[in-house]
A = this chain, B = another copy of it.
Amino acid sequence: MSENTAGDSGMRGDSSPEPDADAAEGTADDRPIVYDLAPDCTLEDAAVDALYHAEVNGVVDYGIFVDVSDALSGLVHESNLDDDYAVGDRLVVRLTEVKENGDVAFDDVAAADYRTETVAHEPTVSRVRGLTPGDEVTVEGEVVQAKQTGGPTIFAVADASGVVSCAAFEEAGVRAYPEVAVGDMVHVSGTIETRENALQLEVDSLKRLPEERATEARERFEAALDERAEPADVEPLVEWEAFEPIHDDLRELARLLRRTVLSGRPIRVRHHADGDGMCAAIPVQLALENFVRDVHEDPDAARHLFKRLPSKAPYYEMEDVTRDLNFALEGRARHGQKLPFLLMLDNGSTEEDVPAYENLAHYDIPIAAVDHHHPDPEAVEPLLDAHVNPYLHDEDYRVTTGMMCVELARLIDPSITEELEHVPAVAGLSDRSKAEAMDDYVALAEEAGYDESDLLDIGEALDYAAHWLRYSEGKTLVNDALNVGCEDEDRHEELVEFLSERAHRDVQRQLDAVDDHVEHERLASGAHLYRIDLDEYAHRFTYPAPGKTTGELHDTRVQETGDPVITIGYGPDFCVLRSDGVRLDIPNMVTELNEELPEAGVSGGGHLVVGSIKFVKGRRSAVIETLVEKMADAEIDEALSSTAAIDD
Point out the residue from B149, B323, B537, B573 that lies within 8 Å of A618, measured CB to CB: B537
Interface pick from A78-86, A358-366, A373-381, A384-392: A358-366
For the complex, is A617 an interface residue (Cβ under 8 Å from B)? yes
- Taken together as a complex, chains A and B put the C-alpha atoms of A281 and B573 apart, in Å, by 37
For the complex, is A540 an interface residue (Cβ under 8 Å from B)? yes
Which A597-621 residues have a C-beta within 8 angstroms of B? 598-601, 614, 616-619
With A299-B172, A475-B330, A477-B325 known as contacts, the answer to whether A362 contacts B491 (CB < 8 A) is yes
Chain B residue at minimal CB-CB distance from A620: B536
Interface of A is mostly: helix
Please indicate the chain B residues that have their CB under 8 angstroms from the CB of A318 in the complex: 468, 502, 543
Please indicate the chain B residues that have their CB under 8 angstroms from the CB of A90 in the complex: none
Contact A362 B536 (CB under 8 A): no
Residue-wise, chain A 581-611 has the 8 Å CB interface mask toward B (1 for contact) of 0000000000000000011110000000000
Point out the residue from B196, B476, B617 that lies within 8 Å of A535, measured CB to CB: B617
A391 to chain B minimum Cβ distance, whole angstroms, is: 27
Contact A197 B150 (CB under 8 A): yes
Which A509-531 residues have a C-beta within 8 angstroms of B? 509, 512-517
Contact B599 A495 (CB under 8 A): no
Contact A616 B194 (CB under 8 A): no
Contact B333 A476 (CB under 8 A): yes
| Central interface residue in A329, A480, A495, A601, by most chain B CB within 10 Å | A601
Which A533-565 residues have a C-beta within 8 angstroms of B? 533, 535-540, 543
- Taken together as a complex, chains A and B put the C-alpha atoms of A614 and B151 apart, in Å, by 52
- Taken together as a complex, chains A and B put the C-alpha atoms of A465 and B152 apart, in Å, by 34
Contact A300 B150 (CB under 8 A): yes
Contact B536 A319 (CB under 8 A): no
Contact A319 B173 (CB under 8 A): no
Please indicate the chain B residues that have their CB under 8 angstroms from the CB of A512 in the complex: 598-599, 601
With A198-B173, A358-B498, A538-B616 known as contacts, the answer to whether A319 contacts B516 (CB < 8 A) is no
- Taken together as a complex, chains A and B put the C-alpha atoms of A468 and B355 apart, in Å, by 14
Q: List 15 A-B contacts (CB under 8 A).
A: A150-B197, A172-B197, A318-B543, A322-B468, A323-B472, A325-B477, A329-B477, A362-B491, A513-B600, A513-B601, A514-B616, A516-B598, A539-B601, A539-B614, A540-B573
